Amino acid sequence: MSDQRTSRSVQTVQKRTGFFGSASRMVPEEVPIAFSYGGTTHAVMMASPADIEDFAYGFSLAEGIIREAGDILAVEPLEAGGGIDVQVELRDANADALTARRRRMAGPVGCGLCGIESIEQATRSVELIGSPSLILSPRQVAEAAQMLSDLQVLNRQTRAVHGAAFYIPGEGFVAVREDVGRHNALDKLSGAVLRQGRAGHDGAVVVTSRLSVEMVQKTAALGSPILLAISAPTALAIETAETAGITLVGIVRGEEFEIFTRADRISEGASAHVA
């Protein structure tokens, strides 16, 4: 199936300069999207109905179901009532691992953290990114934040969606994804990067949302060493970034920003290209 429309026009009553009047506004679409592996639904997300295959790859990566693009054999989005059922076919080894994981689950999941069964998994450990050579200058940090704002097509229409992008010095953004959910936008971005055959450690993740721990966990799953945002992080996000060795940059306002972890990757002497 092709991606559904991502926005629609609705009628509103506006109050402007002291008067009420009829008007119209574009608002984003939001639909349930189910991820099914081996014919069994794993999670249902409320999301924008676009970039569905990217979403499937990125969600699977963030959940630890896959580690590389080749772990997925096929993705088939199917219309299902008012939503989309995404049938994902895994390699045998990944499918067996997911089946074993399901057997360990004590009961149904009823919150926004999908596919987990305990508090320990909600605060799961992240792998150490290591010491990749990616370094950004303050100018590149500012450039990345501004570029994302400029490239958010759906947000310009609706002013109601989050954006996530992958920035590589010397190339700019190689992928930009939007969604009504900040986690979904980052999953879609991760999927796009994975499907392009890019290495996560070659670029920085840039997001428009606050820096919650889940955003750091998803960035770590992708393998990117730098996470930039226009908002601030939570305390747990900072702790998790420190553990993963991720440079966390928040409250980006032009060339003014705050670095919360691994400040050595932001330097005036940064090259225009990845070493």
- pLDDT at position 3 is 59
Q: What DSSP character marks residue 113?
A: S
- pLDDT at position 263 is 97
Yes or no: say if 62 and 221 are a contact pair by the CB < 8 Å rule. Answer: yes
Across the 275 residues of the chain, what is the mean pLDDT of every consecutive 10-residue run?
84 96 97 97 97 98 97 97 96 95 55 52 75 92 95 96 97 97 98 97 96 97 97 97 97 95 90 47
- pLDDT at position 273 is 46
3-state secondary structure (DSSP) of residue 118: coil
The pLDDT tens digits for 124-179 are 678 888 777 899 999 999 999 999 999 999 999 999 999 999 999 999 999 999 99
- pLDDT at position 61 is 98
Indicate which residue of 111, 119, 235, 275 is catalytic. Answer: 111
CA distance between the termini of the chain = 40
The DSSP secondary structure of 133-183, one letter per residue, reads ---B-HHHHHHHHHHHHHH-HHHHHHS--EEEEEEETTTEEEEEEEESSHH
- pLDDT at position 155 is 96
Domains, the chain, with CATH or none: 31-122 (3.10.20.10), 138-265 (3.40.140.10)
CA distance 122 to 119: 5
Clarify whether 111 is annotated catalytic: yes
Quick one: how far is CA 243 from the chain centroid? 20
- pLDDT at position 109 is 41
* Structure tokens belonging to residue 91: 């390699």
